[in-house]
Structure 1
Amino acid sequence: MEREASAIALQGRALTKVYRMGTVEVRALRGVDVDLHEGELVVLLGPSGSGKSTLLNILGGLDAPTSGSVLFRGSELSMDSERALNLYRRNHVGFVFQFYNLIPSLTARENVALVTEIARHPMPPAEALSMVGLGDRMDHFPAQLSGGEQQRVAIARAIAKRPDLLLCDEPTGALDSKTGILVLDAILKINRSLGTTTALITHNAVIAEIANRVLYFGDGRIVETRLNAVQRRPAELQW
């Protein structure tokens, strides 16, 4: 049965994160409430140090909040259990980072297969690579691929386990605008064709135009939320 479009996939409630360095406290998050709805594409926009990556890492189970809670489809994540977080990340979350983290000695297909070997219901690596436009580059090594192609391999690796959530931290940050458009096209295609709930961090305000919803960050808080009446295609963006 399909979920309603308005159903909430992921919730964060009263999330705080305090880093302590000696006697100094850095408050990265200051009581953030956030909802990610099933199948939507959300852009987290704001300057460096505003709390975007900290929030995404907590929502993805890579980090624990100092206080607050995270609920996935209504069930609270056990932040004290590394086993529970491992299962959550393995079964439900795909990550894409600014840097590709591909294994140089493996082909594109083999890099993706590393994830499918431990997933519950994976798609074939070739299918995942075809979805991101790399059907003819599957047997190339990372050194034989451009930066944009390597990032699309990383996206294919993230979505090959059919995650419920795709969390992207500055996926175009190391790319030029032309290459970035291809990467955003791949992310948008995954969001629309698989219905994957997607959150994407950027400091580039133009990229926010592809989202259903934009969360603006400042000083560890969400300071504004905006709904986009029209989602632009990446090719329409003026970088």
Structure 2
Amino acid sequence: MTDMAQKDDRRTTLSALGITKVYRTGEVDIHALRGVDLDLYEGELVVLLGPSGSGKSTLLNILGGLDNPTSGRVFFQDSELTALSDRGLTAYRRDHVGFVFQFYNLIPSLTARENVTIVTNIAPDPLPAEDALRMVGLAERMAHFPAQLSGGEQQRVAIARAIAKRPNILLCDEPTGALDSKTGILVLEAIEHTNRTLGTTTTLITHNAIIADMADRVITFNDGRIADVRVNTSRRPVKNLRW
């Protein structure tokens, strides 16, 4: 399948048009993004590859409404994110976006269920916290506190928290970066299951090229630009990846 064929067949969830991002440090301008055009389609799983500093995380933050581009436009379905106020971007993040980062950011004094329930209390159409935790394989660990969970289990709680609001978009920035390979596979399986079960448009940043085989598309960044786009004609299940 070509990238253009996929574009014709699927509804676009996010579109980035001519995105640049320039940070000024003293007298020096740092160009994090240099005119990026990218469409993300409904229900697909995209892996972003590239070295540190290539612009992947900057783009993810802009797509998630956490940062604004220096120039260019971003659309979520028919709404222009780059035209929204701070309040509008807050509503976009709350109602439509789930984030998973390398570090779990769980509240230590709350159980796994309570960490997820925090999100369900503010989402317009949430999954019950118990259902979200079952989806990531933690049915037996709901009453445990973060200190009683392994790193992989804590990351899966973070995924459950992200998906409990039933987001249109799931953005994952190095979700396995702090984990060993065996634990990382469990986390990736939870992300894969979420994408397939809920149809959530999912974008995952990684330095591990092996992970790319689980994606519908693999987009490689270099020096703030998209250097390559590869379409996988068939996704390889996480359990079949060779680590």
TM-score normalised according to structure 1 size = 0.97
1:123 aligns with 2:136: no
Name the counterpart of 1:72: 76
- List per-residue Cα deviations over 1:170-212 (Å, max 9, x = no partner): 0000011100000000000000000000000001100000000
CA distance in 2: counterparts of 1:164 and 1:6, whole angstroms: 14
Matched length: 236
Q: CA deviation at 1:47?
A: 0.6
Kept in 1: contact 2:96–2:169 (CA 8 A): yes
3-state SS of 2:24 partner: strand
Name the counterpart of 2:236: 232
TM-align CA RMSD: 1.0
Task: Choose which of 42, 56, 60 in structure 2 pairs with 1:56.
Answer: 60
Unpaired runs of 5+ in structure 2? 1-7
3-state SS of 1:135 partner: coil
Name the counterpart of 1:218: 222
Task: Choose which of 18, 30, 37 in structure 2 pairs with 1:33.
Answer: 37
Q: CA deviation at 1:42?
A: 0.3
Q: CA deviation at 1:74?
A: 2.3
Kept in 2: contact 1:5–1:38 (CA 8 A): no
Q: CA deviation at 1:238?
A: 1.5
1:159 aligns with 2:176: no
Task: Output aligned runs, 1:42-121, within 5 Å.
Answer: 42-79=46-83, 81-121=85-125
Kept in 2: contact 1:9–1:73 (CA 8 A): yes
CA distance in 1: counterparts of 2:70 and 2:43, whole angstroms: 28
CA distance in 2: counterparts of 1:237 and 1:82, whole angstroms: 41
Closer, same or farther: CA 189–79 of 1 in aligned 2, 3 Å? same
- List per-residue Cα deviations over 1:61-105 (Å, max 9, x = no partner): 000000001000022114551000000000000000000000000
Name the counterpart of 2:208: 204
Superposed structure 1 runs of 4+ greater than 3 Å apart:
none
Q: CA deviation at 1:163?
A: 0.2
3-state SS of 1:119 partner: coil
CA distance in 1: counterparts of 2:235 and 2:200, whole angstroms: 16
Letter in 2 for 1:19: Y
CA distance in 2: counterparts of 1:230 and 1:26, whole angstroms: 38
Letter in 1 for 2:141: R
Name the counterpart of 1:21: 25
CA distance in 1: counterparts of 2:129 and 2:233, whole angstroms: 35
Kept in 2: contact 1:78–1:84 (CA 8 A): no
Letter in 2 for 1:168: C
3-state SS of 2:51 partner: coil
Closer, same or farther: CA 79–98 of 1 in aligned 2, 3 Å? farther
Letter in 1 for 2:191: I
Name the counterpart of 1:174: 178
1:193 aligns with 2:197: yes
Kept in 1: contact 2:75–2:82 (CA 8 A): no
3-state SS of 1:58 partner: helix
Q: CA deviation at 1:5?
A: 5.1
Q: CA deviation at 1:125?
A: 0.4
Letter in 2 for 1:9: T
